Structure 1
Amino acid sequence: MTGEFSSTWLTLREPADAAARADDLIEALRLPTGGELVIRDLGCGTGSLGRWLAPRLPGPQRWVLQDRDPALLAHAAAHLPPAAADGSAVTVETAQGDVTALTAADLAGTTLVTCSALLDLFTVDEVTALAEVCVASDTPALFTLSVVGEVTLEPADPLDAEVAAAFNEHQRRVVGDRMLLGPEAVGAAAEAFASAGATVTVRDSPWRLGPEQAELTAEWLRGWVGAAAEQRPELALEEYLKSRIEAAEAGRLQVTVGHQDLLAQKF
């Protein structure tokens, strides 16, 4: 899988991610007690999911952070919290490589597989293979903040719907010989895990961005509109983007960006 992500962008979005994730899925998660939890974080980025999840789980934990980017891996490994919910130790190791090629051997001894804002970059075959590997190894999966293609901006603009549609088309683009799932990722993952024999729970986990998140909103707009313009250059979105960023920076724009979290596990 290809793709580079700015550490600045990942850091900027971390508070919104933390506020959006579905806490109740942690309560539904069935993990063994009395031993070390081994958690593999796919596409870990700067480690924001680990910083959110590790302090919410009791017991000693070993996080295996996996990413293609060695700089992000180093940052994530250095910034995970040292203690679990009950004060037990949290330790970290890193694995550089392609997260779409996970095997049963990779999951040997793993307690939980996680990822955040990643599934949209998978293909249907890759999601199916991941589900089969997780279920075959009896490893629960908690996948958070997958985009679902739903965006609401207030006040509305006549171009909003066209930009959203173009962005969603861009998310489904073909990269090399891979057709990305984009906003269909959660549905594909839910179907794949269910077919493999897991029980699947899906929760909405939208970003709700207002005046307090103006910097994040402006940066999100640049990426959202930029992808739409790349997909449909005839839309000529320069003035639209300028006016939307001005509204965000002035505290006059509310944005809801749809995501979903998915928990899959065998009972």
Structure 2
Amino acid sequence: MTEPATTTQYLGTIPAPPGPRDTTDVTDTAVGGAGGTGGPGIVQSETGGTSGTSVIPGAGPAAPRPGERATLRLRDTGDDEPARYAPEWLQLREPADAAARSYDLLDPLRIRLANLPRRADGFVIHDIGCGTGSMGRWLAPHLDGAQHWVLHDRDPYLLHFAAVASPRSAADGSHVTVETRRGDVARITGDVLAGASLVTASALLDVLTREEIGALAAACAGAGCPALLTLSVAGRVELTAPHPMDEEIAGAFNAHQRRGGLLGPDAVTVAAEAFAEHGATVRLNPSPWRLGPEQAALTEQWLRGWVGAAVEERPELATPAEGYLAERLEACAAGELRVVVQHSDLLALCRPVDGSA
């Protein structure tokens, strides 16, 4: 059954950054990471015609440190590192994410969860690379029954936001509780997920390698829990009205997404194959961002990040891309630009380890 998009409870005022007391119960475990879709980078950029205007961290490309991936630092490298995705970027995209996720995948997920053995503490849901917790705010109110969310991310700053803005009740009014765990998505194992009822992630698959996606599928299969993995970039963008440079920018952006062995727009296909190899039943549904005049602020940031990543991949595009970006931003400001950014949602129903349906 398809459900209409609903209004989600958003962050509103960004909470204060975490201090020592806020982070004392953030445990350093083996899972984490932060996903992003609008553009793969993580710090301010002035590439590709964005000179003089900063891109919110998370919306545009970033220069890597020596020997490091160009798009996203997943490995934990120390407490002094700044937040890799700005809460402002994640907050800006949250309404578009909520409207895009596939409601058609919820019914088969609910059926599977209803057939699981009942636990005294309810369903245990692990959200991998949780960011500010938008997945929990979207999904928890659509599921019946008590829920305990385990939020994984490598960034304690984002974990703080996720914890304070977490949902408090399920669809039927049951209680929802939350804990946070800090660590690295690349080390996830079935042991980490032992006892899990569900694994979720949003905008994560496209910033993983083939090996990391294989490890994620193996971990979910080992735990016998379903996985709902949403908003993976599909590599296709439609802008109104079409422009001669659209295809060239899109191609360069997709190549940027694949830097350093990352899968980018190939990720959801690789993930579907990996889960199927472990015996899971896999369903894929489109989950496009549909951006119009009401989403102008998000569209502007997405455009700057999209074009900036393309120019970072192909520097020879810098001069024509500057004019292209200026033209697109002018149309956006005038309320004339509409953009469809294609994503895919994946539901993998892994075989339960206890033999339940």
- State the TM-score, normalizing by the size of structure 2: 0.72
Return the alpha-carbon distance in structure 1 between the equivalents of residues 161 and 117 of structure 2.
29
- Asked whether the equivalents of residues 33 and 59 of structure 1 are also in contact (C-alpha less than 8 Å), the reply is no
* Residue from 218, 234, 253 that aligns with 2:337: 253
Q: In the TM superposition, what is the alpha-carbon distance from 1:129 to its structure 2 partner?
A: 1.2
Return the alpha-carbon distance in structure 2 between the equivalents of residues 173 and 34 of structure 1.
44
Match of 1:66 in 2: 152
Return the alpha-carbon distance in structure 2 between the equivalents of residues 33 and 158 of structure 1.
56
Q: In the TM superposition, what is the alpha-carbon distance from 1:266 to its structure 2 partner?
A: 3.0
Q: In the TM superposition, what is the alpha-carbon distance from 1:125 to its structure 2 partner?
A: 0.8
Flag as ranges the 4+ runs of structure 1 deviating above 2 A.
32-35
Match of 2:306 in 1: 224
Cα shift readout 1:54-98 (whole Å, capped 9, x = no counterpart): 010111110000001101001001101100011111000001011
- Asked whether the equivalents of residues 228 and 346 of structure 2 are also in contact (C-alpha less than 8 Å), the reply is yes
Cα RMSD (Å): 1.0
- AA matched with 1:48: S
Task: Give runs of aligned pairs for residues 120-135 of structure 1, distance below 5 A.
Answer: 120-135=206-221
Return the alpha-carbon distance in structure 1 between the equivalents of residues 185 and 103 of structure 2.
25
Does residue 196 of structure 2 align to residue 110 of structure 1?
A: yes
Task: Give runs of aligned pairs for residues 1-267 of structure 1, distance below 5 A.
Answer: 2=73, 4-29=84-109, 30-31=112-113, 32=116, 34-35=118-119, 36-174=122-260, 179-236=261-318, 237-266=321-350
What number of residue pairs does the alignment pair up? Answer: 263
Identical columns (%): 60
* Structure with the bigger percentage of helix: 1
Q: In the TM superposition, what is the alpha-carbon distance from 1:5 to its structure 2 partner?
A: 1.3
* 137 and 243 in structure 1: CA distance in 2 versus 1, 3 angstrom threshold: same
SS in 2 for 1:246: helix
SS in 1 for 2:126: strand
Q: In the TM superposition, what is the alpha-carbon distance from 1:243 to its structure 2 partner?
A: 1.3
Q: In the TM superposition, what is the alpha-carbon distance from 1:34 to its structure 2 partner?
A: 3.5
Decide which moves more: 1-10 or 118-127.
Answer: 1-10
Cα shift readout 1:170-202 (whole Å, capped 9, x = no counterpart): 00001xxxx100000000000000011100000
Return the alpha-carbon distance in structure 1 between the equivalents of residues 216 and 137 of structure 2.
24
Decide which moves more: 102-111 or 161-170.
Answer: 102-111
Q: In the TM superposition, what is the alpha-carbon distance from 1:104 to its structure 2 partner?
A: 1.3
Higher-RCO chain (CA-CA 8 Å, sequence separation at least 6): 2
SS in 1 for 2:211: helix
- Asked whether the equivalents of residues 133 and 166 of structure 2 are also in contact (C-alpha less than 8 Å), the reply is yes
Larger Rg: 2
